[in-house]
Structure 1
């Protein structure tokens, strides 16, 4: 092979190598463009699905608000009719002593079941979140949780409270309390802090039970909860929601 043929062969190999390199570059570029297209299309589809879900959630939320308003209206109507029934029973009780005794017993049972409004002396306990402490890493260490509320309620019942309410909502024998972020739920109804626990009973006895050394008050204060106790000459508790 002479020198001229050798140079011709080198040029041919150089051209072929350049073609291979360009082919690889275009192949990679085509793959990147195809991947970007599919990725963009997938994100668009997900956004469309999310938008439909948001519209559905908004519709359900509006329906829920309407149902709650209707329930409140029906609840008020029910309370008014129950009040009328009580008035009729009182009128009947005047006719004879026996009817009076029956109506009195019915009223007492309604009170225990939370069916009617009740009044009496008692105490009010307010539980509020502790003051912000920048040195405290965990915010849960100075906010009110459901177990703090349970401590107060259990002590009040043990001390003879006949009726208890949280932020005005009456408790029943099967009430439940759940912690849901910054609020607590009482039988499904949310209440923000501070939590005012009202209890009807002997005010002196209830207050003494809560103020025992090493008792409920000291336990809550140690958990950085702001505890306030006040005796009341008269407390009025509304009927149970949904009664």
Structure 2
């Protein structure tokens, strides 16, 4: 009787043990399956995020490429404008240089700039008076004689002119009063030394033309001396305030 109960008890313990093992294995399988499912869901979520981020990067890359194309077109347009300006400047460069030279010449004639360079010196003197002459004024240098020299020098390219050291301006006033001439209110006696800065060969040739200024002055009994100078210096006009 006791052996039967003992065997029965051992049998129950083995059954319980087997059931326990089955439960443990089953629980392990269920837990593993659950974890796998969780991992799959997490992996799927990460993949979705990665795909979304990749799409975002792709769109941003496309936008940058389009912007680069726009910038390249803008750069090409600006380069075309620069080339256009360069061509325009090159075509007008000579004209620009000519305008600058003309402006400087005008400033020289106005006496605003110091003048220095080659030129000529023309000296006009009264002739010796002839007592048998009817009119003694025929032997005196007059303003008309001075003007003839000045006009010829200017049209021959003189850049600056002085009379007895006084710089002439574009609006200078010259008046003859007997044996003296008045320039802008200042009197100067004969002889009258006229200096001009410019191409000395051209200025000299213009004055010496046959039938030109010097011939006319000699015919009017004026003593004329013409010199070509290597260097003439003229200070600019001081404007009184």
Instruction: Give the TM-score band, short-chain normalised.
Output: 0.5 to 0.7
**Correspondence for 1:212:** 209
SS in 2 for 1:212: coil
**Correspondence for 2:157:** 160
Structure 1 residues 85-140: Cα deviation after superposition (integer angstroms, max 9, x where no partner): xxxxxxxxxxxxxxxxxxx99x9465343123221100000000001211113110
Match of 1:192 among 189, 192, 196: 189
Q: Are the equivalent residues in 1 in contact too, given 2:173–2:184 (CA < 8 A)?
A: yes
Runs of 4 or more, structure 1, over 4 Å off, are: none
Q: Are the equivalent residues in 1 in contact too, given 2:200–2:228 (CA < 8 A)?
A: yes
**Correspondence for 2:108:** 111
**For the residues of structure 2 that align with 1:208 and 1:236, how far apart are their CA atoms?**
21
**Correspondence for 1:140:** 137
Matched, 1:173 2:173: no
**For the residues of structure 1 that align with 2:199 and 2:187, how far apart are their CA atoms?**
29
Paired residues, what number?
140
Measured after TM superposition, the shift of residue 193 of structure 1 is: 0.2
SS in 2 for 1:198: strand
Match of 1:130 among 122, 127, 130: 127
Q: Are the equivalent residues in 2 in contact too, given 1:169–1:241 (CA < 8 A)?
A: no
Structure 1 residues 31-51: Cα deviation after superposition (integer angstroms, max 9, x where no partner): xxxxxxxxxxxxxxxxxxxxx
Match of 1:120 among 108, 113, 117: 117
SS in 1 for 2:116: strand
Q: Are the equivalent residues in 2 in contact too, given 1:170–1:241 (CA < 8 A)?
A: no
**For the residues of structure 1 that align with 2:157 and 2:192, how far apart are their CA atoms?**
21
**For the residues of structure 2 that align with 1:110 and 1:220, how far apart are their CA atoms?**
30
1:130 and 1:241, CA in 2 relative to 1: closer, same or farther beyond 3 A? farther
Matched, 1:221 2:209: no
Match of 1:183 among 159, 180, 185: 180
Q: Are the equivalent residues in 1 in contact too, given 2:176–2:182 (CA < 8 A)?
A: yes
Q: Are the equivalent residues in 2 in contact too, given 1:115–1:240 (CA < 8 A)?
A: yes
Report the TM-score when normalising by structure 1.
0.54
Measured after TM superposition, the shift of residue 239 of structure 1 is: 1.8
**Correspondence for 2:46:** none
SS in 2 for 1:123: strand
Report the TM-score when normalising by structure 2.
0.55
Q: 1:3-14 counterparts in 2 under 5 A?
A: none
Measured after TM superposition, the shift of residue 181 of structure 1 is: 1.7
- Structure 1 unaligned residues grouped into runs of 5+: 1-103
- Structure 2 unaligned residues grouped into runs of 5+: 1-99
**For the residues of structure 2 that align with 1:112 and 1:182, how far apart are their CA atoms?**
27
